[in-house]
Amino acid sequence: MSDFVSGFWNLWVAGITLVSIIGCAVFLKAVSIKRTSGQVDTTGHVWDGDLAEWNNPLPAWWSWLFYITVVFSLVYLVLYPGLGSFKGIWGWSSVGQWEGEMKHAAETYDPIFNKFLQQDLKTVAADPEAKQMGQRLFVTYCSQCHGSDAGGARGFPSLSDKDWLYGGDPETIKASILNGRTGIMPPHGPVLGDAGVKEVANYVFSLSGHKHDASLAAAGKPKFDQTCAACHMPEGTGMHALGAPNLTDKVWLYGSSEAAVIETIAKGRNGVMPAWKDFLSEAKIHLLAAYVYGLSEGK
């Protein structure tokens, strides 16, 4: 690997670039010279016995366009990076431009965001201006998974109701956005077997009043108590500390069909909420948390 970061390759790239540009200029000059031998110059291509292609120089205006291109290329490579590791006399870089834009944006918008950072989340959630700002942040960063209306999707919880995997108080919501969440439902198929999985699925249905087979549910209860109650609690009400969902309501993260529930029990589920603390400022996360908290208030 060290061979590819040595100074030789810097000179090699710069040399190839300059030779190519200068070679274009030399070639252009060579084909622009008008022959005065008195003979008709052709390319040597002949069709239909006597139909030949003349070898005339390019029109002057066309040649000058190419010359201007060559000059522009050389000027560009002096001002901007392009010759190996030479940074250009202006010292421009895409990273530097991005950093400058971010600095300008921070100087412009940070005071607006920071004024809400000093307020508690419930106060921010009730502020109309903060709601608008939080909504724009949500649509930009969160709607891809949770939907633009925060209604969720299969495997992505709705944020507009009062069903919370990890708790719906303002500080818990903020912690979820800051640090992310990783929810793991282990597969129980190998332990319960096909019949046992179906029995537990029917018992889970019975907890929420969903249509189920009573005899299968009765057989599934002891299996639920043995394998599921540790996370979902004996009553099936879930546990915020683990992100284990409440099974007694009518909210189904992966679907309420028998096939979907059987698949969840047999194969398990892995849910990941990414952490945003390294991407968004605390002030923006504060606004986002307040907006999400406000979505379910009053419902």
pLDDT of residue 136: 95
Element (H, E) at 295: helix 282-296
Are 123 and 52 part of one and the same domain? Answer: no
pLDDT of residue 1: 45
* Backbone angles phi and psi of 110, in degrees to 5: -55, -40
Single-letter amino acid, residue 287: L
**Is residue 249 assigned to a domain?**
yes
Give the pLDDT of the chain (299 residues) as one tens digit per residue.
Answer: 455 566 788 888 888 999 999 999 898 888 777 665 556 577 777 787 778 877 777 788 888 899 999 999 999 999 999 888 888 899 899 999 999 998 998 899 889 888 999 899 999 999 999 999 999 999 999 999 999 999 999 999 999 998 999 999 999 999 999 999 999 999 999 999 999 999 999 999 999 999 999 999 999 999 999 999 999 999 999 999 999 999 999 999 999 999 999 999 999 999 999 999 999 999 999 999 999 999 987 55
CA distance 222 to 37: 105
**Is residue 283 assigned to a domain?**
yes
pLDDT of residue 40: 59
**Is residue 151 assigned to a domain?**
yes
CA distance 299 to 294: 10
**Is residue 29 assigned to a domain?**
yes
The SS3 of residue 90 is coil
Which residue, among 117, 153, 110, 160, has the nearest Cα to 135 in the 3D structure? 160
Are 126 and 193 part of one and the same domain? Answer: no
Q: Are 13 and 83 in contact (CB under 8 A)?
A: yes
**Is residue 17 assigned to a domain?**
yes
Are 225 and 269 part of one and the same domain? Answer: yes
Q: Does the global pTM surpass 0.95? A: no
Are 37 and 60 part of one and the same domain? Answer: yes
* Backbone angles phi and psi of 226, in degrees to 5: -85, -40
Are 213 and 239 part of one and the same domain? Answer: yes
Are 124 and 154 part of one and the same domain? Answer: yes
Are 197 and 173 part of one and the same domain? Answer: no
Are 127 and 269 part of one and the same domain? Answer: no
Are 54 and 158 part of one and the same domain? Answer: no
pLDDT of residue 63: 85
- Residue ending a domain, choose from 61, 79, 97: 79
Host domain of residue 234 = 184-273
CATH number at residue 110: 1.10.760.10
pLDDT of residue 30: 81
Q: Are strands 42-47 and 51-54 parallel, antiparallel or unpaired?
A: antiparallel
Are 174 and 212 part of one and the same domain? Answer: no
Q: How many structural domains does the chain have?
A: 3
Contacts 24+ apart (CB under 8 A), 148-152: 150/292, 150/295
pLDDT of residue 3: 57
**Is residue 84 assigned to a domain?**
no
**Is residue 85 assigned to a domain?**
no
Q: Are 293 and 177 in contact (CB under 8 A)?
A: no
**Is residue 75 assigned to a domain?**
yes
